[in-house]
Chains A and B, each alone.
Chain A
Amino acid sequence: MNKMVRQLLPFGTLTLIICILSALKPDSFLTAENILNVLSRSSVNGIIAMGMTAVIISAGIDLSVGSMMALCGMVAGYVMLKLGGAHPQVGSMVAGTIAGIATGIACGLLNGTLITKLKLPPFIVTLGTMSAFRGISYVMNNGKMYDAPTYTYLGMGDVLGIPVCVLIFAVIVAAAGFILRYTRLGRYTYAIGSNREAAFHAGVNVDINLTAIYTLTGLVVGIAAMIATSRTVSAQPTAGISLELDIIASVVIGGASLAGGRGTVSGTIIGTLLISFLRNGCTLLGISTNVQLVVIGAIIIGAVALDQMARSRAEAGRS
């Protein structure tokens, strides 16, 4: 019973927020346009949050995702500029996109390798790479951005009225859900996060699996970076500053445990949407962005506190 309540709590909160906003601002909130707008804006965070969910389930953390996103965008912007000039055509845009995503994979692989080969805590490694990736992003064009005026498809295009970025988000959610639930990698991720020693003694190759998780996170960061670049039609070295905190927050609100072994894709989606709708709602209601920060902070603490209470009660009931 408690478990049900626990799992339904974030979902209930989300529904509640949507209901309240619909009632307060029926004309502006509950429109297809606004909902799709919120979903588009959630897509960058949501895509990265899929990787972060796996990382957190494995009892790790990736603080470098925000900087990594900036770096991926900058590499893509650089490639587009070099190949296509000021107004890149399709060919150079595809090349830039591939370069950007490849950068993400390389960054993730670097994180994973440092964590497993040097046996360093993920917090330390990704704190270091967070700084390094950001530094490289600034160095690339002396702190300036790359314009990509023609790069609009991923961020602003649509297929049959549905934004392309929302479609990509959906595909990645499906893939993440499948990997975590139906593959050995997913199963081993839970096992490593729940009890790394036990997983090792059960024959799980901990290093390879952890490296894979961080590399896949790099992949989704690369994809998200291309959407972000497209939404602003420019690659900015300042992109994604403190993004990692928002993303960790949405994963945690979704019920994942920073101690590892617990977390779901569906929970993370709810966590991401909760934050997005809250922002959107606050804006519609004319609440300042500064106050929004306070509200979101309270929600993070409240969600985790309620979760802890439900858990300790469930444990007390068992013993």
Chain B
Amino acid sequence: MTTLSQERATATKEIALQMKGISKHFGPVQALDKVGLTVRAGTVHALVGENGAGKSTLMKILAGVYQPDEGTIEIHGKRCVFTNPAQALVSGVSMIYQELDLAEHLTVAENIFLGAEPMGPVRFMVDRKNIVTRAKELAECFNFDIEPTAKVEDLSTGDCQIVEILKALRRKATIIVMDEPTSALSEREVQRLFEVVRQLRARGLSVVYISHRLEEIVGLADEVTILRDGKLVHSGPMTALDIPKIVHHMVGRELTDYFPSGTAEIGDVLVRVSNLNSEAGAFDISFEIRRGEIAGMAGLVGAGRTEVAKTIFGVNPKTSGQIVVAEDELNIRSPADAISNGVALLTEDRKRTGLCLQLPCSWNITLPNLVEIGMRHVIRPSKEKLIAEGVASQIAIRWASPQAPADSLSGGNQQKLLIARWLLANSKFMIFDEPTRGIDVGAKTEVYTLLNKLAEQGKAILFISSELPELFGIADKILVMRRGKLVGNLVTSQTSPEEVMHLAAVGKN
């Protein structure tokens, strides 16, 4: 049995990184609860878990970005305390984030040596030739195919990752953390990245590999650590696990009754999307939502859920397909068109695309609705304030006053401000993209109650979420997206989180 001997070989390798009993809380939220992670030299260690399971927090602690409340970190047997990212770098920990962090206008070689430029005979003069030669040597040493004099802005995402890895190697990193490295890569680039990762492993480096794409992990990782709700649920060799077992560990919690049950009556078809395509990354999407129905939409980060929402709402142009709401085919070319046709979108990023943070709460509520509340020509501030207060009281927004700036509110109340905006708009079809992201548990339940209430009013709701429990708690059916396509349309009561996760991560069998 080769796998067994491999396993034995892995088990005897020296421990490169040992994190023990790491806890971290943010306000009342316990992000990590006594989590451990043991990574051996010359192995690839997968770190998996649902969104919010604590993977990023754990890695940020390793990188010195956060300090743990308790717990210890040992690197090659040496106890380390990182109070800033620079210390982690010196100890040989390098992070490669999803958002690559390169100076676009500089060359590959200049990026690799950024901040550590070899100096020429004249002080303060960078020795350009030397940089190029040394970058070349480094790349050749690992069999990476990259041109040191190329400008980073001309490189593909895959090449940029190689540059990041070379940067890490130049710093003599022994532990390289990759956070969702394949989410923006083409299939060919993914294969090349795997080759690079295997090269690193062969040289005795440790790679901590974070990915939602379970099939990748199964083929690549030697060991795996699974987190759920900030706790360690499983850690061990990859050979002992398969995808269904990993999925079970990831989602295996009881669905508690903090999801209020809805009583909406499901009526006739209100929304019909057929063969919708957009350049931004939605391919041939078709689904229907009935009056009073909550359709959940599941999928991994980058699966194209937000692209579908944005295309329906007119943010991204659609290249083909139909959107029919209440028997009318809509020709939506901008959010303004969508809103006037009764379509609403609560965007996933309330700070970037939702609120005007420095403006008063009441202004944020009425912004898309000034015409509807009879203020097409003249705004009457006192009446506007009354209207805003009226809709705010329906969903219990806590603010100092309607004139207070939106950024003086808590995350949950900011989200409610945006919900209030669409309540006032009285839309027929409402799309909620990650409405519970970054808000506390109490506010989440309020959001669920509200979704149910809206369904009871006969609206059609598309509820996009990365958290399976809330989809299963609230949605009548679940649409599953993977790589821009709809791969599942399941009735909630007849499916399981395992099935949905499997579809989202691996697609149809």
Identify the A interface with B (CB < 8 A): 181-184, 186-187, 190-191, 194-195, 197-205, 261-262, 318
19 A-B pairs within 8 Å (CB atoms) are namely A182-B381, A183-B377, A183-B378, A184-B375, A191-B359, A194-B356, A194-B357, A194-B359, A198-B352, A198-B355, A198-B356, A200-B315, A202-B335, A202-B421, A203-B335, A203-B338, A203-B340, A261-B356, A318-B408
**Most chain-B CB neighbours within 10 Å: which of A182, A186, A203?**
A203
Do B353 and A194 touch (CB < 8 A)? Answer: no
Question: Which residues of chain B are within 8 angstroms of A194 by Cβ–Cβ distance?
Answer: 356-359
Chain B interface bracket (under 10, 10 to 19, 20 to 34, 35 or more): 20 to 34
Known: A183-B378, A183-B379, A187-B379. A199 touches B356 (CB 8 A): yes
Do B359 and A190 touch (CB < 8 A)? Answer: yes
Question: Which residues of chain B are within 8 angstroms of A197 by Cβ–Cβ distance?
Answer: 352-353
Do A203 and B363 touch (CB < 8 A)? Answer: no
Question: Which residues of chain A are within 8 angstroms of B355 by Cβ–Cβ distance?
Answer: 195, 198
Do A202 and B368 touch (CB < 8 A)? Answer: yes
Q: Does B188 contact A (CB under 8 A)?
A: no
Question: Which residues of chain A are within 8 angstroms of B313 by Cβ–Cβ distance?
Answer: 201
Known: A201-B315, A203-B338. A261 touches B367 (CB 8 A): no
Q: Please measure, in the bound complex, the distance between the C-alpha atom of A197 and the C-alpha atom of B310, giving whole angstroms.
A: 13
Do B376 and A204 touch (CB < 8 A)? Answer: no
Q: Please measure, in the bound complex, the distance between the C-alpha atom of A184 and the C-alpha atom of B368, giving whole angstroms.
A: 10
Known: A182-B378, A183-B377. A190 touches B356 (CB 8 A): yes
Q: Please measure, in the bound complex, the distance between the C-alpha atom of A187 and the C-alpha atom of B362, giving whole angstroms.
A: 12
Q: Does B334 contact A (CB under 8 A)?
A: yes
Question: Which residues of chain B are within 8 angstroms of A262 by Cβ–Cβ distance?
Answer: 358
Q: Which one, A181, A186, A195, A205, contacts B356 given CB within 8 A?
A: A195
Number of A-B contacts (CB under 8 A): 78
Do A182 and B379 touch (CB < 8 A)? Answer: yes
Do A187 and B367 touch (CB < 8 A)? Answer: yes
In the complex, the chain B residue whose C-beta lies closest to that of A196 is: B356
Q: Please measure, in the bound complex, the distance between the C-alpha atom of A45 and the C-alpha atom of B502, giving whole angstroms.
A: 67
Known: A183-B377, A183-B378, A205-B334. A198 touches B363 (CB 8 A): no
Q: Please measure, in the bound complex, the distance between the C-alpha atom of A318 and the C-alpha atom of B352, giving whole angstroms.
A: 21
Q: Does B370 contact A (CB under 8 A)?
A: yes
Q: Please measure, in the bound complex, the distance between the C-alpha atom of A197 and the C-alpha atom of B377, giving whole angstroms.
A: 24
In the complex, the chain A residue whose C-beta lies closest to that of B336 is: A203
Q: Please measure, in the bound complex, the distance between the C-alpha atom of A219 and the C-alpha atom of B416, giving whole angstroms.
A: 41
Question: Which residues of chain A are within 8 angstroms of B368 by Cβ–Cβ distance?
Answer: 202-204
Q: Which one, B336, B358, B421, contacts A261 given CB within 8 A?
A: B358
Question: Which residues of chain B are within 8 angstroms of A204 by Cβ–Cβ distance?
Answer: 336, 367-368
Question: Which residues of chain A are within 8 angstroms of B315 by Cβ–Cβ distance?
Answer: 200-201
Q: Does B347 contact A (CB under 8 A)?
A: yes
State how many angstroms separate the Cβ of B87 from the closest Cβ of chain A: 27
Question: Which residues of chain B are within 8 angstroms of A195 by Cβ–Cβ distance?
Answer: 352, 355-357
Complex interface bits, B326-348 against A, C-beta within 8 A gives 1, otherwise 0: 00000000111011100001010
Complex interface bits, B420-436 against A, C-beta within 8 A gives 1, otherwise 0: 01000000000000000
Q: Interface majority SS on A: helix, strand, loop or mixed?
A: helix
Interface of chain B residues 13 through 39 with chain A (CB within 8 A)? none
**Most chain-B CB neighbours within 10 Å: which of A199, A202, A262?**
A202
Do B370 and A201 touch (CB < 8 A)? Answer: no
State how many angstroms separate the Cβ of A246 from the closest Cβ of chain B: 27
Q: Please measure, in the bound complex, the distance between the C-alpha atom of A168 and the C-alpha atom of B356, giving whole angstroms.
A: 34
Q: Does B354 contact A (CB under 8 A)?
A: yes
Complex interface bits, B251-289 against A, C-beta within 8 A gives 1, otherwise 0: 000000000000000000000000000000000000000
Do A184 and B379 touch (CB < 8 A)? Answer: yes
Do B370 and A184 touch (CB < 8 A)? Answer: yes
Q: Please measure, in the bound complex, the distance between the C-alpha atom of A197 and the C-alpha atom of B354, giving whole angstroms.
A: 8
In the complex, the chain B residue whose C-beta lies closest to that of A207 is: B334
Q: Please measure, in the bound complex, the distance between the C-alpha atom of A261 and the C-alpha atom of B378, giving whole angstroms.
A: 20
Question: Which residues of chain A are within 8 angstroms of B356 by Cβ–Cβ distance?
Answer: 190-191, 194-195, 198-199, 261
Q: Please measure, in the bound complex, the distance between the C-alpha atom of A262 and the C-alpha atom of B405, giving whole angstroms.
A: 12
Do B359 and A184 touch (CB < 8 A)? Answer: no
In the complex, the chain A residue whose C-beta lies closest to that of B347 is: A201
In the complex, the chain A residue whose C-beta lies closest to that of B406 is: A194
Question: Which residues of chain A are within 8 angstroms of B359 by Cβ–Cβ distance?
Answer: 190-191, 194, 261
Q: Please measure, in the bound complex, the distance between the C-alpha atom of A181 and the C-alpha atom of B380, giving whole angstroms.
A: 9
Question: Which residues of chain A are within 8 angstroms of B370 by Cβ–Cβ distance?
Answer: 184, 187
Do A190 and B353 touch (CB < 8 A)? Answer: no
**Most chain-A CB neighbours within 10 Å: which of B334, B353, B363, B367?**
B367
Q: Please measure, in the bound complex, the distance between the C-alpha atom of A170 and the C-alpha atom of B67, giving whole angstroms.
A: 59
In the complex, the chain B residue whose C-beta lies closest to that of A315 is: B407
Question: Which residues of chain B are within 8 angstroms of A187 by Cβ–Cβ distance?
Answer: 363, 367, 370, 379
Do A203 and B339 touch (CB < 8 A)? Answer: yes
The 10 closest A-B pairs by CB, nearest first: A194-B356, A203-B336, A203-B339, A202-B368, A202-B367, A203-B368, A195-B356, A201-B353, A197-B353, A203-B335
In the complex, the chain B residue whose C-beta lies closest to that of A318 is: B408
Do B334 and A199 touch (CB < 8 A)? Answer: no
Question: Which residues of chain B are within 8 angstroms of A198 by Cβ–Cβ distance?
Answer: 352-356
Do B354 and A201 touch (CB < 8 A)? Answer: yes
Q: Please measure, in the bound complex, the distance between the C-alpha atom of A186 and the C-alpha atom of B353, giving whole angstroms.
A: 20
In the complex, the chain A residue whose C-beta lies closest to that of B354 is: A198
Question: Which residues of chain B are within 8 angstroms of A186 by Cβ–Cβ distance?
Answer: 379
Q: Please measure, in the bound complex, the distance between the C-alpha atom of A181 and the C-alpha atom of B378, giving whole angstroms.
A: 9
Q: A184-B376, A194-B356, A195-B357 are in contact. List 5 more A-B contacts (CB 8 A).
A: A190-B359, A198-B356, A200-B334, A201-B347, A203-B368
Q: Please measure, in the bound complex, the distance between the C-alpha atom of A156 and the C-alpha atom of B38, giving whole angstroms.
A: 85
Q: Please measure, in the bound complex, the distance between the C-alpha atom of A200 and the C-alpha atom of B310, giving whole angstroms.
A: 12
State how many angstroms separate the Cβ of A142 from the closest Cβ of chain B: 44
Question: Which residues of chain A are within 8 angstroms of B347 by Cβ–Cβ distance?
Answer: 201
State how many angstroms separate the Cβ of B209 from the closest Cβ of chain A: 33
Question: Which residues of chain A are within 8 angstroms of B379 by Cβ–Cβ distance?
Answer: 181-184, 186-187
Do B377 and A199 touch (CB < 8 A)? Answer: no
**Most chain-A CB neighbours within 10 Å: which of B334, B338, B359, B377?**
B359
State how many angstroms separate the Cβ of A179 from the closest Cβ of chain B: 11
State how many angstroms separate the Cβ of A269 from the closest Cβ of chain B: 21
